[in-house]
Amino acid sequence: MASLVGQVIAGYCADCFGKKNVMALFYLLAALCIPLLFLARRPTAAWGFAVLFGLAMGADYMLIPLVTAECFGISGLGKLLALIIMGYSVGQWMGPVLAGRIFDATRSYDAAWAIMTVAGVLGAATIYAISPQRRV
């Protein structure tokens, strides 16, 4: 449900404030809610994470094609989206595996949450740093 709401909010915000900046903001939101998982034994923290991360991921999925087209043009859009979505799929497959391995080695998910938070903040900064394609 949160993901669906995130898509609607992101669509509205993207039209008002610029697609790339909205995507960077929602990506940052996803990264910054990951530390709530340090407190996952508390129901409010777990629910807070689920709602905020769901909002951010719904926005992210909706904005990927818009930002890609805006920043890189449409001539190679299919190829670019294939690479981007493939990278997302690999990350979504490997993330839980790596988190499990970290837990097996340390008996805690804390390092996994910290790594994912830092990676998410770096991802948001990278999205923000991309310049939209200049039209001549």
Write the pLDDT tens digit of every residue in 58-94.
888 889 888 888 888 888 899 999 999 999 899 889 9
Q: Is the model's pLDDT at 12 over the cut of 80?
A: yes
* Domains of the chain as residue ranges with CATH: 2-129 (1.20.1250.20)
Q: Which amino acid is at 118?
A: V
For the four alpha carbons of 40, 43, 44 and 46, in that order, the dihedral sign comes to positive
pTM over 0.95: no
Exposed, middle or buried: residue 107 (CB in 10 Å: 0-12, 13-18, 19+)?
exposed
pLDDT of residue 76: 86
What is the Cα 68 distance to its own chain's centre?
14
